[in-house]
């Protein structure tokens, strides 16, 4: 499972009129911009969460899930469902698919996903009935940060990666970012394994959404994220790292900069954190024992 391929109708992209100004004057033109829509996740007996997101898939999609029957419908996993489940997981509302009784799209309002948890009374709710925008972060000061850290698991060991292959994987993720190529306005995330294979990929206007989509894809595919690393096109904020820690990704590698609390959380949870992963260098800020400089022959090379 490696995300969606765009079709001829350019899913995730809207065309808008624009005036281009330069030293030679002005021209009427049409520009590609990122499509922004709402997705409301209504969790029975808990609350609702409205995400600003970008749908990038255009294909037949399964539009429901139950614990007893699995995915409902003849299509593939819905991108919106992957986002919803990934968000529920990284929000701490579920620990896996076993905590879900059912998910269904509202037939009258397709931008609403209704969720029934197996045991809503057991959920510790951090926030509810909120709009989560594309750059939404979390406050990380003082006791709140300590509480967040205590609630998250340590990540395991076993994954090793070379700097060469980190750059190779980052290049491969970048080549898949077709919405970004057209608009310059999206982020991407990709989960990779010890063999250098990209197992899940997603784009979205929100960096948090892209990561949640990837985690949701892995959950539905039965892929153990605790054995994987993840690539990010964004900066490494506290919330991005906390999501990756909750999924137990062993290595997090990003194109851009980290924040101080993101580094501290990764250090505490034994997660390898690499930033500014751009040819030919990268900076390692936490637990660098999983990144080696010599190429490993078993890693995929194209």
Instruction: Please list the active-site residues.
Output: 136
The 3-state DSSP class for residue 176 equals helix
E strands along the chain, which residues?
13-22, 25-34, 37-43, 47-53, 61-62, 64-66, 70-72, 76-77, 100-105, 112-117, 130-132, 161-162, 187-192, 198-204, 229-232, 251-254, 272-278, 281-286, 291-292
Q: Are 161 and 273 in contact (CB under 8 A)?
A: no
From CA 281, how far away is CA 141, in angstroms rounded?
31
Angle, CA 58 vertex, CA 82 and CA 56 arms, to 5°: 60
From CA 203, how far away is CA 185, in angstroms rounded?
10
Supply the Cα-derived Rg of the chain in whole angstroms: 19
Q: Are 79 and 59 in contact (CB under 8 A)?
A: no
Q: Among 143, 157, 147, 112, which residue's Cα sits nearest to residue 126?
A: 147
């Amino acid at each position: 499972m490696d995300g969606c391929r765009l079709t001829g109708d350019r899913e995730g992209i809207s065309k808008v009129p624009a005036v281009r100004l330069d030293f030679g004057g002005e021209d009427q033109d049409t520009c590609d911009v990122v499509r922004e829509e709402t997705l409301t996740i209504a969790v029975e007996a808990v609350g609702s969460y409205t995400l600003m997101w970008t749908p990038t898939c255009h294909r037949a999609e399964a539009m429901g899930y139950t614990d007893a029957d699995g995915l409902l419908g003849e299509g593939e996993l819905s991108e919106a469902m992957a986002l919803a489940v990934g968000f529920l997981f990284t929000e701490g509302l579920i620990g896996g698919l076993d905590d879900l009784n059912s998910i269904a799209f509202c037939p009258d309002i397709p931008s609403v996903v209704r969720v029934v948890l197996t045991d809503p009374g057991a959920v510790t709710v951090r926030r509810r009935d909120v709009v989560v925008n594309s750059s939404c972060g979390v406050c990380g000061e003082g006791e709140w940060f300590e509480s967040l850290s205590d609630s998250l698991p340590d990540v395991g060991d076993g994954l090793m990666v070379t700097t060469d292959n980190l750059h190779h994987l980052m290049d491969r993720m970048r080549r898949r970012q077709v919405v970004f190529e057209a608009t310059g306005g999206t982020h991407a995330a990709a989960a990779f394994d010890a063999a250098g294979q990209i197992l899940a990929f997603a784009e979205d206007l929100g960096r948090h959404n892209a990561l949640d989509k990837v985690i949701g894809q892995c959950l539905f595919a039965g892929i153990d994220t605790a054995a994987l690393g993840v690539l990010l096109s964004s900066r490494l904020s506290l919330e991005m790292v906390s999501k990756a820690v909750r999924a137990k990704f062993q290595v997090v590698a990003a194109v851009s900069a980290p924040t101080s609390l993101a580094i501290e959380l990764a250090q505490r949870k034994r997660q390898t954190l690499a930033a500014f992963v751009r040819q030919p260098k990268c900076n390692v800020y936490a637990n660098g024992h999983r990144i080696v400089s010599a190429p490993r022959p078993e890693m995929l090379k194209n």
